[in-house]
Amino acid sequence: MRILRLLLCLYSWMIGNSNVQAASDSAFFQAILQNNLGQVQAAVAAGAALDQLDPYGGTPLHLAVYRGNIALARLFLEKGADVNAKINDTFFKGKRDPSFHNYQGTPLHLAAYHGNIQMAKLLVAYGAILNLPDQAHDTPLIVAVQQKQMAFVKWLLKQGATVNDSCSEGLTVLNSALRSGFKMVKLLIDHGARAHTSPSYGHSILDFARYTTAKKERKQIMQLLIKKGARFHYATGNVKDGHSVRCLHTVSYLLDQGALLHSRDNEGNTLLHAAVKDGADCKHKQDDLLETDWKRPTIYATEQNNRALFQAILKGELKKVKTAISGGTSVDQLAERGNVPLHIEIYMGYAKNPYKKVRITAGYTPLHLAAYRGNIALIKLLLKKGANINAIDAQHGYTPLQLAACQGHEKVVQLLIAAKALIDTREKRLGRTALHLAAATGNSATVRYLINHGSSCNSRDKTNWTPLQVAILSRNAAEVIQLLIEHESILNKTADTPLHLATKEKDIASVRYLIQKGATVNATDAAGKTALHFAAKRHWLEGCKLLIEAGAAINHASNKGKTPLYMACGDNYIDGALVEFLIQRGIPVSVQNKQGRTPLHVAICNVLTESIRVLITYGADVNAEDYEKNTPLHLLDRQWCITDIMDIIHLLMANGVEVNRKNKNGKTALQLAIQNNLHSEIITLLESNVPKQ
């Protein structure tokens, strides 16, 4: 049998992704996705293999952990599932579902990503290895640190997870913590993480800290690292030796001598890029550049002089630069594209992730870089010498103004707009303006300045989102949201209104402010759902109260006939408080959707015992039939554990359920229970309540 499975996997790999994708439609994996314990138990009992792979290379245990279903995970582990299996996506060729973006590593890696300590305890109890790296060489501790799962990190450390592991690139757990804040960094250091590690990619942890930590915590984190022995790798990295002054003088002289703003060497660096770099290891880098085989025909005659000039610029030696240019050295444009040396790349802000090189295009001008870094003096100099203020880079379509807006450089934005920069130019990927980009980063001062100088609050990107919608999704832009609303941004004219988005994000401050400013609380999206539907779906009692107080229609049904009460009975919501609140506000307890199902049907499908109790208390019809003539009792073949099922049956029976009622296919609940191999205790309980003939 095992050989047959291996042959089937090989066959699927050979014929392509279409067959692999079909595997994800199997009843077994669908049952796991739907948290259907009964169906999964039946499949396992029938011999379903626990080492088979879903379309993304994960085992049934991976999928159960990803879904957070402890009951399913325990079932698989009890049946011998490999607790340390790694997701194998080498055969996967299709486009990954975005909802599975973090689906990788071992089951413990998935638990770490979601911060699920109870799941992790179960996995470790069955032998999960704490420090096992995934394909990217990340341990569960690194994953938890990257996701800012503080409680999970503390638990891992308590279990003995090692804090000084490094991946193949030499980056440590502490490197990963830099983006997760001071508390995370301190926690790791308190547990023995070393700050004085060997440089990775030629950079110490302090070099990474300068560009990866949040600005408000950067100083605090760097002080802690230095206190614990961290040092800058480059001598010029943390001392003011006049380099920046020499840099500006060198650039000024080059421009005065007619240097082209876009001149590049074959690695993608212009003379100006090299001159404005800071903190680079020039001594070693110059040798690499001198050994480079420059191949542009037009520079063969002056090749040595060009190299000497570039070497002088790298060192910031203004006198040698003057001598070289006076001798006729060419400063015309060279290669069109290339790899930026990592030290210049990181400093100039090309890479959001400084751990790898990125390919750039010649479209990035020195003005782009100066705007990104907020270098006012250099921007003024470049503009004075005729730099194209509206230059668009070839790869992303950003203008210098957009880059400045991204970074929240208000003074740079002011300078560029004063110099007649086009304010509503759109970048290529999402079609966003400078205002969209500033709104996404939550920089209120930049947003205010752009609005006051004519940027449109109602412009839409390629996803049909306005700056206001982008700001709401950023979750860190309360003041920006208020600014955009005050300047007449569209509130109610899109399918997904700002109120919908704020409700989905459970952002109470934004919801309250949007309502105060006149947002229509009963606006519907394309599916006919209001903000109250989303608040109920998110089981957000506070949001539901606020929306209803503002006039939300509690009985409004979506296009599929779903009321907010119906939405509240979905998913794994164990507390019946929201269900009771909605019923008390007047929502009918037995209203049917387009399939004929009532909230009680839905609550039973999701094993919400407390919600079931509340619904019955307020008069829900325990014998209500959907359009397939299924009563709530017929749905027991879709439940989780035996205890829950028994509780539900007792509840229904105590309130008059008719055990012998048949569905459209002529099946009773007892017959379905037998057909679906439910536990013998459940069958016995149903049999005991069948009326005797």
Average pLDDT, the chain: 72
The CATH homologous superfamily to which domain 363-462 belongs is Ankyrin repeat-containing domain (1.25.40.20)
The domain locations on the chain are: 2-162, 363-462, 558-688
Assigned token pair, 596: 């004929």
pLDDT at 272: 45
CA atoms within 13 A on the CB side of 623: 11
Fold of 2-162: 1.25.40
pLDDT at 111: 93
**Is residue 645 within 8 Å of residue 682, measured between CB atoms?**
yes
**Is residue 228 within 8 Å of residue 195, measured between CB atoms?**
yes
In this structure, of 1-15, 137-151, 623-637, 656-670, the range with the lowest mean pLDDT score is 1-15
**Is residue 447 within 8 Å of residue 483, measured between CB atoms?**
yes
Higher pLDDT, 70 or 176: 70
Higher pLDDT, 1 or 450: 450
């208020």: which residue's tokens? Answer: 482
On the question of pLDDT at 67 being above 50, the answer is: yes
Taking Cα atoms as reference points, which of 385, 410, 257, 413 lies closest to residue 326? 257
Q: What is the pLDDT of residues 410-430, one digit of tens each?
A: 899 989 988 888 888 888 778
Residue type, 217: E
DSSP code at position 361: E
Binned at pLDDT 50, 70 and 90, residue 338 comes out as very low
On the question of pLDDT at 255 being above 60, the answer is: no
| Most confident of the ranges 439-453, 484-498, 597-611, 670-684 | 597-611
pLDDT at 134: 83
> What class is the 558-688 domain?
mainly alpha
The mean pLDDT of 312-340, rounded to a whole number, is 39
The mean pLDDT of 218-240, rounded to a whole number, is 61
Answer whether 363-462 and 558-688 agree in fold.
yes
Q: In sequence order, which residues have a C-beta less than 8 Å from that of residue 629 and are 6 or more positions away? A: 662, 663, 664
- Residue 318 CA from chain centroid, whole number: 46
Q: Is 112 exposed, middle or buried (0-12, 13-18, 19+ CB in 10 A)?
A: buried
In this structure, of 101-115, 295-309, 443-457, the range with the lowest mean pLDDT score is 295-309
Assigned token pair, 178: 């830099």
Cα 393 to Cα 400: distance, rounded to the nearest angstrom: 9
On the question of pLDDT at 117 being above 80, the answer is: yes
Cα 389 to Cα 375: distance, rounded to the nearest angstrom: 15
On the question of pLDDT at 579 being above 50, the answer is: yes
CA angle 457, 459, 461 (to 5 degrees): 130
Cα 568 to Cα 427: distance, rounded to the nearest angstrom: 40
Q: How many helices (H) and strands (E) does the chain have?
A: 39, 2
On the question of pLDDT at 639 being above 90, the answer is: no
Cα 277 to Cα 145: distance, rounded to the nearest angstrom: 32
pLDDT at 325: 41
On the question of pLDDT at 330 being above 90, the answer is: no
Higher pLDDT, 330 or 5: 5
Cα 592 to Cα 556: distance, rounded to the nearest angstrom: 12
Pairing mode of beta strands 337-339, 359-361:
antiparallel
Binned at pLDDT 50, 70 and 90, residue 356 comes out as very low
The mean pLDDT of 178-182, rounded to a whole number, is 87
The radius of gyration of the chain's CA atoms, rounded to the nearest angstrom, is: 31
Cα 23 to Cα 88: distance, rounded to the nearest angstrom: 15
With b for 16 or more beta-carbon neighbours within 10 A and e for fewer, the 381-417 pattern comes to bbbebebebebbbebbbbbbbbbbbbbbbbebbbbbb
Neighbours of 364 (CB within 10 A): 27
pLDDT at 546: 93
pLDDT at 615: 92
In this structure, of 81-95, 205-219, 293-307, the range with the lowest mean pLDDT score is 293-307
pLDDT at 573: 63
Higher pLDDT, 603 or 462: 603
Taking Cα atoms as reference points, which of 276, 302, 279, 303 lies closest to residue 291? 303
pLDDT at 682: 82
The mean pLDDT of 331-356, rounded to a whole number, is 31
pLDDT at 24: 40
Assigned token pair, 409: 């450089």
Residue type, 523: A
| Most confident of the ranges 456-460, 546-550, 667-671 | 546-550
The mean pLDDT of 399-411, rounded to a whole number, is 86
**Is residue 156 within 8 Å of residue 112, measured between CB atoms?**
yes
In this structure, of 274-288, 359-373, 453-467, 522-536, the range with the lowest mean pLDDT score is 274-288
Residue 200 DSSP SS3? strand
Residue 338 DSSP SS3? strand
Residue 389 DSSP SS3? coil
The mean pLDDT of 433-450, rounded to a whole number, is 82
The mean pLDDT of 205-227, rounded to a whole number, is 75
The mean pLDDT of 447-459, rounded to a whole number, is 80
Specify the DSSP element, H or E, that contains 337: strand 337-339
DSSP state string for 60-107: HHHHHHHHT-HHHHHHHHHTT--TTPPP--TT--SPPPGGGTT--S-H
On the question of pLDDT at 227 being above 80, the answer is: no
**Is residue 165 within 8 Å of residue 131, measured between CB atoms?**
yes
In this structure, of 199-203, 603-607, 657-661, the range with the lowest mean pLDDT score is 199-203
On the question of pLDDT at 248 being above 50, the answer is: no
What is the percent of the chain with per-residue pLDDT over 90, rounded to a whole number? 12
Binned at pLDDT 50, 70 and 90, residue 464 comes out as confident
The mean pLDDT of 629-634, rounded to a whole number, is 89
Assigned token pair, 406: 């991204």
Does the global pTM surpass 0.75? Answer: no
The mean pLDDT of 32-46, rounded to a whole number, is 87
The mean pLDDT of 124-148, rounded to a whole number, is 88
Cα 81 to Cα 32: distance, rounded to the nearest angstrom: 14
The number of residues making up the chain comes to 693
166, β-bridge pairs: 172
Higher pLDDT, 212 or 459: 459
Assigned token pair, 161: 């997870």
Q: Is 589 exposed, middle or buried (0-12, 13-18, 19+ CB in 10 A)?
A: buried
Binned at pLDDT 50, 70 and 90, residue 549 comes out as very high
In this structure, of 64-78, 127-141, 470-484, the range with the lowest mean pLDDT score is 470-484
In this structure, of 197-206, 380-389, 473-482, 526-535, the range with the lowest mean pLDDT score is 197-206
Taking Cα atoms as reference points, which of 59, 56, 68, 40 lies closest to residue 103? 56
Distances (CA, A) of 561 to 325, 558, 680: 77, 5, 37
